[in-house]
Amino acid sequence: MSEKSARQASISTENQTGGLTIIKIGGSWRIDQPLPSLNFKGDQVKIVSDGLEDFDSALPSWIHHNFKNVRELDLSELPKRLQSLVRLAEKNTQWKSEDEKPNLLENFGVWGIESYSSWGRAMDHIGQTSTGLFRTLIGRSKVNWSDFTLQLQTAGVDALPIVALLGFLTGLIMAYVGLIQLRQVGATVYVANLVALAMTREMGALMTGIIACGRTSTSFASQLGSMNVSQESDALRALGINPVEYLAVPRILAVTLMVPLLSLFATFVGIFGGMIVACAGDLSIDQYLNQAIKAITFKSFLVGFIKSFFFAFIAAWAGCYRGYVAQRSALGVGDAATSAAVLGITLIVIADAIFAVIFNLYNF
Amino acid sequence: MDVTTPILKCAKLCVGYGDVSVMKDISFTLERGKILAIVGPSGCGKSTLMRVLGGLDEPMSGSCELLGVDLSQADSRAREATLRQSGFLFQGSALFSSLTLRENIEMPMREFLKISSSQIRQLAEYKLACVGLSDAIDKLPSEISGGMAKRAGIARAMALDPEILFLDEPSAGLDPLTSERLDDLILKVRESFNTSIVLVSHEVPSILHTADYCVYLDSDTLTMGAYAPPKDFLDPKSHAKAHSFFSRVVTPK
């Protein structure tokens, strides 16, 4: 960009006999200044200089935009450099031309094929993960133990504070809501049953699963997506190592081991949170604890544990899967992280609903 | 800027990382409209030197004037104004992956030019047409090939009509034919826009085809080994290491 000029860009048109239009251009044509607009219909044009002072790419871009479809364009009376700039933008046959844009029907077809293939990829990844886990369990596959222990730390121990906080607040909120309702029928003592049962059977596992999706799934998706971008996954494949087995299995194992423990922790913290509210209201600590212990059975714990085990698998798998299929770009990695959280949470809620029906059917 | 002012002028320039100097005693002057190639063995600091020349990094010592402005001494406003007059193509093209090619080109224009959207659109279409990407205008960077990404990178670098272009290994990873076409494009850009170009390259045929001058960096002495037109290095009497670099011809066994 150079200094500002005195005269603004100007044009004037002159129609000649035989369909030729002469366009006179003058003034200074700069990319940081507004350009004149032109309503032109014709297929024979001659552009001439009429006091043309200076120009940068504003002028050739203006000519390119307005006259690219004109049959005969005569620039012979313009400066050589301008002719060269206009020619540079002419359809260059040395570069391969791209395919035409697909129409609506083709777009629909592409969407259908992509949806079908994304299901296929998901099933393929589940298959590879299951095979990898099975091979690991029977000792036919080496686990990347350093990755496994690192994930135990990051997905498990490092999550303790957030699990404690959310578990505590969940118990607290349930007790608060329960207390208000139960006070109306004089049954405030049952707030302990409500909190204890809800935390062991439902909320401990659900909250921990959702935290795992928000924390761990997105982290896995970003890690594996970035490895796709830097072709580390390809490097593993080239070395004859199955990337799903090498990267996903230790992560899924670590999360599946840690999340049930975190869920148990969240359950106890939640019951404690409920106790704070209950005891600030109508109950003593002894009353609350006795009532809570009566309410919780081994079956309730088992239900919560089974759920948290599945939720953990879903959260870890969603992260690994979305990272594995992430596009090789910064945008792809971001999308993978977002879709991992969405996929994980959706599947966990669906799984929870299915569990509710199953446990109800079998009176569990 | 006065047209007689050299586009790039270095004196006793020393570049490096942190406290470690990787190359020193670099002195040369580049005139407007000329193409300079920076060559040398791998890891000798070519890209580091180019980042310093382009004002992306600070020199350790010495001076480097870009468009007559010593960027290490200039205040932030003068520095930004000068950087706006230069364009950069990075090794990996560095296109913004969430934007289409058109949006990538329009982005600097929207940032710095106070003109209408339609005019910006028109300019972006022209710049992409200049690099032969009219048909890929609405594609995302992830949907195009490496060669196309390089050309789109050049179009983005040219977005604000810079006085000087810095191209970091423009033909790296491209097949010989695509590489040759890219060389032709670089020459056309120079011819049409009268843009000065500084490029880092390893490819001798490409350097001989495009460059007017060549800086050879000597990784043994960590200094600028030679500065001359590239064809001069084909002469055995020229700088021994530069000659050895340029005369390396692959012969079938």
Instruction: List the structure tokens of A170.
Output: 């969940």
Q: Which of A28, A31, A96 is the best substitution to test chain B (most B C-beta atoms within 10 A)?
A: A31
Q: Does A3 have pLDDT greater than 70?
A: no
The domains located in chain B, with CATH, are: 1-85+162-253 (3.40.50.300), 95-161 (no CATH)
Q: Does A8 have pLDDT greater than 50?
A: yes
Residue of A nearest to B126 (CA): A61
**Checking DSSP bridges between strand B8-17 and strand A72-74, what pairing results, if any?**
unpaired
Instruction: List the structure tokens of B199.
Output: 């490029």
CA distance B76 to chain A (A): 18
Instruction: Dump the DSSP string for A255-291.
Output: HHHHHHHHHHHHHHHHHHHHHHHHHHTT--HHHHHHH
Q: Between A209 and A231, name the one with better pLDDT.
A: A209
At A271, give phi and psi (nearest 5°). Answer: -65, -35
Contact state of B139 with A329 under an 8 Å Cβ cutoff: no
Q: Find out whether B137 and B125 touch, Cβ atoms under 8 Å.
A: yes
> Which residues in A lie closer than 8 A to residue B105 (C-beta atoms)?
none
Contact state of A332 with B142 under an 8 Å Cβ cutoff: yes
Q: Does A94 have pLDDT greater than 50?
A: yes
The gap between the terminal CA atoms of chain A, to the nearest Å, is 76
Q: What angle do CA A336, A229, A130 make, to 5 degrees?
A: 60
- Strand arrangement of the beta sheet that strand B86-89 belongs to: B69-70, B61-66, B8-17, B20-30, B223-228, B213-218, B35-39, B196-200, B164-168, B86-89
CA distance B105 to chain A (A): 14
Runs of H (alpha helix) within B11-145: 46-53, 76-83, 101-112, 117-130
Q: Please give the mean pLDDT across all residues of chain A.
A: 88
Torsion of CA B204, B209, B215, B221, to 10 degrees: 10
* Nearest neighbour of A35 by CB, restricted to B1, B119, B158: B119
Provide the total of helices (H) and of strands (E) in chain B, helices listed first.
8, 10
For residue A203, the 8-state DSSP code is I
Q: Find out whether A168 and A285 touch, Cβ atoms under 8 Å.
A: no
Does residue B160 belong to the interface with chain A, where contact is any CB pair within 8 Å? Answer: yes
- Per-residue pLDDT, averaged over A169-176, amounts to 94
* Nearest neighbour of A64 by CB, restricted to B129, B158, B160: B129
What are the pLDDT tens digits along chain B (253 aa)? 566 788 999 999 999 887 788 899 999 999 999 999 999 888 888 989 998 998 888 899 999 999 989 988 888 888 888 888 889 998 888 888 878 999 999 988 988 888 999 999 999 999 999 888 988 999 988 889 888 998 999 999 999 999 999 999 988 877 888 888 889 889 988 988 889 999 998 888 889 999 999 999 988 888 888 899 999 988 888 888 888 888 875 445 5
Q: Find out whether B66 and B8 touch, Cβ atoms under 8 Å.
A: yes
Three-state DSSP class for A38? coil
Q: Which residues 6+ apart lie within 8 Å of A92 measured at CB?
A: B132
Cα B165 from Cα B168, distance rounded (Å): 10
Runs of H (alpha helix) within chain A: 58-67, 80-88, 104-137, 145-151, 160-183, 191-198, 204-212, 218-229, 232-238, 243, 249-280, 285-295, 298-324, 330-361
Q: Where does the pLDDT of residue A4 fall: very low under 50, low under 70, confident under 90, or very high at 90 and above? A: very low
Q: Find out whether A38 and A12 touch, Cβ atoms under 8 Å.
A: no
Contact state of B113 with A31 under an 8 Å Cβ cutoff: yes
Cα A314 from Cα A310, distance rounded (Å): 6
pLDDT value at residue B3? 64
* Nearest neighbour of B192 by CB, restricted to A61, A85, A332: A85
> Which residues in B lie closer than 8 A to residue A94 (C-beta atoms)?
132, 181, 184
pLDDT digits 0-9 by tens, A319-339: 999 999 998 888 889 999 999
pLDDT value at residue B182? 86
Contact state of B122 with A62 under an 8 Å Cβ cutoff: yes
> Which residues in A lie closer than 8 A to residue B132 (C-beta atoms)?
92, 94-95
Does residue B139 belong to the interface with chain A, where contact is any CB pair within 8 Å? Answer: yes
Q: Which of A8, A56, A57 is the best substitution to test chain B (most B C-beta atoms within 10 A)?
A: A57
Q: Find out whether B93 and B133 touch, Cβ atoms under 8 Å.
A: no
pLDDT value at residue A96? 55
pLDDT digits 0-9 by tens, A25-73: 988 898 888 888 887 777 888 898 888 888 888 999 999 888 888 888 8
Question: How many beta-carbon pairs below 8 A join chains A and B?
Answer: 90
User: In chain A, which residues touch B (CB < 8 A)?
Assistant: 1-2, 31-35, 56-58, 60-62, 64-65, 81, 84-85, 87-92, 94-95, 97-98, 327-332, 334
| A311, amino acid identity | F
Q: Where does the pLDDT of residue A178 fall: very low under 50, low under 70, confident under 90, or very high at 90 and above? A: very high
Contact state of A65 with B122 under an 8 Å Cβ cutoff: yes
Q: Find out whether B225 and B28 touch, Cβ atoms under 8 Å.
A: no
* Nearest neighbour of B126 by CB, restricted to A60, A327, A331: A60
Identify the H or E element spanning B193: helix B176-193
